[in-house]
Amino acid sequence: MDNKNNFKPYIPAEKITPEITVTSIIMGILLAVVFGAANAYLGLRVGMTVSASIPAAVIAMGVIRILMRRNSILESNIVQTAGSAGESLAAGAIFTLPALFLWAAEGKMDKPNLLEITLIALIGGLLGVFFMIPLRNALIVKEHGVLPYPEGTACAEVLLAGEKGGSSASTVFAGMGFAAAVKFIIDGLKAVSGEVSGKIKGFAGEIGTQIYPAVMSVGYICGPKISSYMFAGGVLSWLVIIPIIVFFGADITLYPGDAPIREIFAEGGASAIWSTYIRYIGAGALAAGGIISLIKSLPLIIKTFGGAMKGLTGGASTSTLRTDREINMKVVIIAIVILTLLVWLVPAIPVSLLGAVIIVIFGFFFATVSSRMVGLVGSSNNPVSGMAIATLLIATLLLKVTGSDGIGGMEAAIAIGSVICIVAAISGDTSQDLKTGYLLGATPKKQQIAEVFGVVAAALAIGSTLYLLDSAWGFGSDQLGAPQATLMKLIVEGVMGGKLPWTLVFIGAFIAVVVELIGIPVLPFAIGVYLPVQLNACIMVGGIVRLILDKIKRPEKQKKAIINDGILFCSGMIAGEGLVGIILAVLAIFGVDKMIDLSSKLGIPATVSNIGALILFGIVILTLFKFTLWKKRKETDED
């Protein structure tokens, strides 16, 4: 691609068009809250989140172009910039903060209050934005043509395609409405089961599938390879390890179980063995996977940081062009100093001023690494969990050495890890958004302001979202497994000297090593080991649908349109189901859920419920085909 000297954005620097408007900011804030809440719910369920940039962009185009009859691509870009911040902040927060709720459930501490959660999320989010500002010239401008920033480039292409019209926004909204209805039928009315499982007599293993549209959508968006790695992890844990444990240890009482394995299995089946033993194996695999991904990235991390620092020595751009204007560096430095003082002063993060400075230095390092790595390999492959694990290990050790042990030290370690995790997630998202803006000809300063609006809105909403979900179902439950947060909790407890079944943890860690040695991406496999096989199977179904569409013989442009429609419809389904999940959580808190529960009122037999579930799942799959393979298209939609 062209370098900076001859690169020309879509909107020339000399041309002034609407960007930050009341409409774009209000829509951006709403989407930041919506996609933040939806991704928090999704991430706590399946351990993965999805990018909100493209669905936010198409919703913005749909409202601004079609409903408001305005034609401003840069205004739509501001909406997706602010909107995507919510998804990234949620991703960083759910990796760590639910650990505090898990300790509260165990009676070790009080629940964190809303102000503490909001401040932790806000500090991490704002640091992530401000750290990226001095890096923009080095990574986005000077490295143009070197760092592709796949999601940022794809989002620019979607916005450019929207200039020609098309039905993208209606596809997203259709997905939202459809998944919302399905979710309400399953978990609101409880007219059908949300999960169908099968067993073989005399064999302790179990296989089955969930039928939720959002879970299947994860498989479609991630693709068949990632889905198959996750499913393989589930097969190993549910059809190999669980039967081995039951077969060889039937009469043994094995810690952390408090009864013979035979009794645990007789009482709760394979799920009881999974919750008692397999989750620790999965946690070991996840921890090892995060560390392996970080070690593999070390050469790139060192080169990245060095290159970014060299780029900074050249200073920020002194150009007066609109497309080079950024937030004043004095404002950025003052903001970082204030946020550093807040890290020191916020009671939820009990560290000294020196500790706060160390956190900020770590944060800037990981922000630099995250921003460059997403430019090379995309946000999906950004080792945020690995960075969080490394930070937690170091922070917990330092806190223990300095006398901050016990539950107070563990709480501080999670708070520190949360700030760093959110910094890494937000800085990666900001760099993708700035790449989109660079290609389109946006004003960087206005995008950076939009990111701040998005972060503030998402930070104010994330605490209430976590409280709602915990009150309704509880973190660590079947509905909300919270895999990363449970892992972070185990790591901190282990370092602080709490009891852990280390044998199980090490088994998982060495499974991860073997998987890495044979060339399989370890993190999706490890997530598969940790999560219920029914959830992995549902993701696999989405991956199979994507595989079918990938293999069909159609003209390349038409095939691309089919795949993209699927991504948009699935993004809509994730958002729709996530929002209904939040609504159902509110209903559960007030006891309304029992009033609308048809399964108890009508006494629906389990067999009928399961058959209904399979029929509904078939409808979900067929509907996805309806909006992709069988969709009627105009030629303009395919170009």
Q: Report the pLDDT averaged over residues 555-569.
A: 89
Per-residue confidence (pLDDT) for residue 1, from 0 to 100: 39
Rg (CA), the chain: 24
Per-residue confidence (pLDDT) for residue 626, from 0 to 100: 94
Q: Which two tokens stand for residue 155?
A: 């989002």
Beta bridge partners of residue 207, listed in sequence order:
198
Q: Report the pLDDT averaged over residues 492-506.
A: 81
Q: Report the pLDDT averaged over residues 503-512.
A: 92
Per-residue confidence (pLDDT) for residue 445, from 0 to 100: 94
Those residues whose C-beta lies under 8 Å from the C-beta of residue 463, and which sit 6 or more positions away, are: 114, 115, 117, 118, 121
Please give the tally of structural domains in the chain.
1
Q: Is the pLDDT of residue 211 over 90?
A: yes
Query: How high does pLDDT run on average in the chain?
Result: 85
Q: Is the pLDDT of residue 69 over 80?
A: no
> Which of the given ranges, 59-73, 443-457, 501-515, 527-541, has the highest pLDDT on average?
443-457
d(CA 151, CA 430): 11
Per-residue confidence (pLDDT) for residue 636, from 0 to 100: 43
Nearest alpha-carbon partner for 585 in 478, 457, 464, 460: 464
- Contact criterion met (CB below 8 Å) for 392 and 492: yes
d(CA 592, CA 603): 18
- Contact criterion met (CB below 8 Å) for 280 and 504: yes
Nearest alpha-carbon partner for 136 in 333, 263, 312, 266: 312
Omega within 30 of 0 (cis) for the link into 605: no
The residue among 13 and 369 whose pLDDT is bigger is: 13
d(CA 40, CA 50): 10
Per-residue confidence (pLDDT) for residue 381, from 0 to 100: 54
The residue among 516 and 637 whose pLDDT is bigger is: 516
Q: What is the pLDDT of residues 510-550, one digit of tens each?
A: 999 999 999 988 878 988 888 889 989 999 999 999 999 99
Q: Where in the sequence is the domain holding 117, given as residue range(s)? A: 1-639
d(CA 390, CA 287): 10
179-188, 213-222, 622-631, range with the lowest pLDDT: 213-222
- Contact criterion met (CB below 8 Å) for 426 and 92: yes
Per-residue confidence (pLDDT) for residue 633, from 0 to 100: 66
Nearest alpha-carbon partner for 352 in 399, 392, 400: 399
Q: Is the pLDDT of residue 380 over 70?
A: no
Q: Is the pLDDT of residue 250 over 80?
A: yes
Q: Report the pLDDT averaged over residues 607-629.
A: 95
pTM for the whole structure: 0.76
Q: What is the pLDDT of residues 415-435, one digit of tens each?
A: 888 998 899 899 988 998 999
Per-residue confidence (pLDDT) for residue 3, from 0 to 100: 44
Per-residue confidence (pLDDT) for residue 148, from 0 to 100: 77
Q: Report the pLDDT averaged over residues 385-399.
A: 77
d(CA 426, CA 414): 18
Q: Is the pLDDT of residue 4 over 50?
A: no
Q: With both helix axes pointing from N to C terminus, report the angle between 444-472 and 73-94 in degrees, rounded to the nearest 10.
A: 40
Q: Is the pLDDT of residue 65 over 80?
A: no
d(CA 429, CA 150): 12
Per-residue confidence (pLDDT) for residue 163, from 0 to 100: 64
Q: Is the pLDDT of residue 637 over 60?
A: no
> Which of the given ranges, 219-233, 320-334, 589-603, has the highest pLDDT on average?
219-233
CA 169, chain centre distance (Å): 22
Over the range 354-371, which residues count as b (16 or more CB within 10 Å of their CB) and which as e?
A: ebbebbbebbbbbbbbbb
> Which of the given ranges, 141-150, 248-257, 615-624, has the highest pLDDT on average?
615-624
Q: Computed from CA positions of residues 621, 624, 626, 629, in that sequence, does the dihedral angle turn out positive or negative?
A: negative
Per-residue confidence (pLDDT) for residue 170, from 0 to 100: 81
Per-residue confidence (pLDDT) for residue 305, from 0 to 100: 62
d(CA 123, CA 420): 10
Q: Is the pLDDT of residue 393 over 80?
A: no
Per-residue confidence (pLDDT) for residue 519, from 0 to 100: 92
> Which amino acid type is present at position 476?
G
Q: Is the pLDDT of residue 235 over 90?
A: yes
Per-residue confidence (pLDDT) for residue 526, from 0 to 100: 86
Of all residues in the chain, what percent carry a pLDDT higher than 70?
Answer: 91
Quickly list H helices, 237-278: 242-248, 261-273
d(CA 146, CA 115): 42
Those residues whose C-beta lies under 8 Å from the C-beta of residue 223, and which sit 6 or more positions away, are: 543, 546, 547, 550
Query: Which residue matches tokens 């960075």?
Result: 387
Q: Is the pLDDT of residue 247 over 90?
A: yes
- Contact criterion met (CB below 8 Å) for 349 and 175: no
- Contact criterion met (CB below 8 Å) for 74 and 16: no
Per-residue confidence (pLDDT) for residue 472, from 0 to 100: 84
d(CA 304, CA 313): 14
CA distances from 222 to 1, 51, 226, 233 (A): 27, 11, 6, 16
Cβ burial, residue 489 (10 Å; 0-12/13-18/19+): buried
Residue 141 is classified by DSSP as I
Q: Report the pLDDT averaged over residues 167-192.
A: 88
Q: Report the pLDDT averaged over residues 98-126.
A: 92
CA distances from 285 to 232, 249, 522 (A): 13, 22, 8
Q: Report the pLDDT averaged over residues 330-347.
A: 91
Q: What is the pLDDT of residues 281-328, one digit of tens each?
A: 987 887 788 778 767 767 766 765 666 566 555 554 556 788 888 888
